[in-house]
Amino acid sequence: MKRNKKVTLKHFVNTRLKTGVGESDRGGHHYPLYLEIIYRRQHIQIKSIIDKTFTEDLQNVNETDQKLMSLELERVKKIIRYDENLFGDDHKLKGIGNRYTNYNAAIYAIVDDGLRFKLKKNVRKYRPELSTVLNFDLSVVPIENLFAAVKALWPDLGDYINLIDFEIELQTWEKYFKIFPRKEVGKFKYPAFIDWMADEHFDKMMKLLNNNNNITENVIERILVNIDETIRLSTIGQ
């Protein structure tokens, strides 16, 4: 088995980007946090997503900051390992800052946006003149409540568009988030795009849902393939 190459990750403050005088006990100038990555004789620096500035000697780092830094190191390393397995000897660190943004995207946000767009598109096809009575983009309203409102407003909608697949997709996501509960720690969201890719969530879901006698295997596979495409396409061009 081919061994993974050594990855060195270290946080540092970018003293070339002074942000002003801080309010910590030590005072002094504060600087944005960056991450230094060394891998296969490649050396690159990217901006941390931790939304805080620090003194040059990092003396104002608290326990919460340390936890967030550890999470960031863990996530960036996972991304590098995934890319390494994907690209092999052709793997380059160039562009990892953009990939970090893409891979860090929250699965539940991707799914929610995708389902809302799909529902809005179908309703507009069916009753374009009335589709504006609902705000499909209002994220504070859960998608399942929005779907219930659509069915209540247009009870015959199922005669014109396929609502069964949409309901199964909603059920699939409910199961997914029971297996992989969503959570946020600072700007780190779980499960993230990298979790879906690197931890093989697609395969795990296929295996678990195939034990559900209420849904046929081909329907499960079709729904999960649609979900997989939604997740992958959502990160293109970010």
128 to each of 71, 81, 123, how far by Cα in Å?
46, 47, 7
> Element (H or E) spanning 53, and its range?
strand 53-55
Q: Are residues 166 and 202 in the same domain?
A: yes
Task: Report whether pLDDT(147) > 80.
Answer: yes
Task: Report whether pLDDT(69) > 90.
Answer: yes
pLDDT confidence of residue 8: 94
What pLDDT digit, counting tens, does each position of 82-93 carry?
999 888 888 889
pLDDT confidence of residue 24: 46
Phi, psi of 13 (to 5 degrees): -95, 140
User: In whole angstroms, what is the distance from residue 203 CA to residue 206 CA?
Assistant: 5
Q: Which domain, by its residues, includes 171? A: 107-234
Last residue of a domain, one of 103, 137, 152: 103
Average pLDDT over residues 148-169: 82
The residues, ordered by sequence, that sit 6+ positions from 142 with a Cβ below 8 Å of its Cβ are: none
Last residue of a domain, one of 82, 103, 124: 103
Statement: the pTM of the whole predicted model exceeds 0.85: no
Q: How many structural domains comprise the chain?
A: 2
Quick check: 13 and 56 in contact, CB under 8 A? yes
Q: Are residues 98 and 111 in the same domain?
A: no
Angle at the Cα of 41 (from 37 to 46), degrees rounded to 5?
20
In a domain, 93, yes or no: yes
142 to each of 99, 124, 131, 137, 192, how far by Cα in Å?
29, 20, 18, 10, 19
